[in-house]
Structure 1
């Protein structure tokens, strides 16, 4: 299982990425996948990023809309796990206990009345060279707006945490490029507010690394680096991930959201 010390190293920017194989059981992975496919909250994304999802995303939403959506879809997110021992909450609770030993609070991001969900479930469905186009996760946090408390995390490491209940036989790799875009870089690509997508031409000479994932794996990355999902083989198993973000908002506070 992934160690909390390694997670904290990613949080502090000391490690760029972690890949943990077989971090949760095949039985748990299969049950979550079945719960996703029959979930009454399953929707198609309509924000320009192709995919199916259960849950809420702060991407291109103001805080009022995001937290209202998080509240309304919470039963569907909980239905992903049913009576299972939830691997996402298990990791969250273990990390919270470890950070508390160092005087650091870990909690879900919130507004005055509502709070974020612990994860969202996604099947990316891009049809080109990438199932999910190359992007960074910092721009969307930087531009989230002052009504979000999570905006402060953009000054530190924005960590993307992915659990993979199901993976196709071929492709669907998590690709990370050795490039952390600046504000100037984003302007040059016209992605200041979203960090999505970076062109293939822009990344042509940048070295990259692929994480070849299997069902039951976990990956954490510094979301400031450009990353995407390679094309996957048709048919067979879906590429399903449970995703969330977290990072330091203050030296004594780590926020978690979707």
Structure 2
């Protein structure tokens, strides 16, 4: 399901959060959501930060990417909050040369805030004690074996938030991934979505209940899938409880993203990274 930016429908996003789908569709693509000039400025700032500071993602054998911004993956609320605070100067530098309004446009903040408010929902960053989550994470995907990002789901990591009561633990079972394509030079990098939402039993049997990453390639080889192809400025909202990944990238492909969830009291839509 997709629409142009001028026809953005907050009702579809709310349905993905509440029900996990909209008329059976688990993804919503918004074409031309972000102006080209905004994407170009963020891209230039991102490359400057990476050239000076290097990637802000810990080096490991799981995901290889140049990254700016903190992520909650495999972290407690305390660890995530500390990492978010440590990287705030770099995050602010991502938006050098942009106005406050242009920065809000980058992650569709105004559309989401006003749209949810009209439906009686508060929209904002997830809270941990006295702090709030990171604004967004931006990555350049690198070669990482058969895929740039292996098959995974993003509900398992929410389970880890229960340990120290990070607010995202209240978001239930329909964690949503929201991503913007910032740059695409070359080929590949499409998002592949498999028609499977692993059960807690399946997640435990694979030892992935607390991380959701990575599912073995042989586990998904016979499962039907679709692909989402984004051009710079396009965005998508995806029920991230379904298995998904990023196809191999040749050239440069940069995306910015965050997770979004609806609290179990139905009053608050929160985001984190």
**Structure-1 residue corresponding to 2:59:** 46
From 37, 46, 63, the equivalent of 1:27 is: 37
Partner deviation per Cα, 1:125-156 (whole Å, 9 max, x = no partner): 24311000010000011222332111121x23
d(CA) in 2 for partners of 1:126, 1:215: 20
Q: Does 1:164 align with 2:174?
A: no
Runs of at least 5 residues in structure 1 that lack an aligned partner in the other structure: none
Partner deviation per Cα, 1:8-55 (whole Å, 9 max, x = no partner): 222222331012222222222111111101015542433532212111
From 4, 7, 12, the equivalent of 2:13 is: 7
From 85, 106, 112, the equivalent of 2:123 is: 106
d(CA) in 1 for partners of 2:71, 2:190: 22
Q: Which runs of 4+ in 1 moved over 3 A?
A: 87-90
RMSD between aligned residues: 1.7
From 136, 146, 150, the equivalent of 1:119 is: 136
d(CA) in 2 for partners of 1:67, 1:186: 26
Q: Does 1:252 align with 2:258?
A: no
Partner deviation per Cα, 1:230-249 (whole Å, 9 max, x = no partner): 0122x3xx211111011111
d(CA) in 2 for partners of 1:97, 1:38: 33
**Structure-2 residue corresponding to 1:77:** 91
Structure-2-length-normalised TM-score: 0.87
Aligned residues: 254
d(CA) in 1 for partners of 2:114, 2:173: 21
Shift of 1:88: 5.3
The structure-2 alpha-carbon separation of the partners of 1:215 and 1:90, relative to structure 1 and needing over 3 Å to count, comes to closer
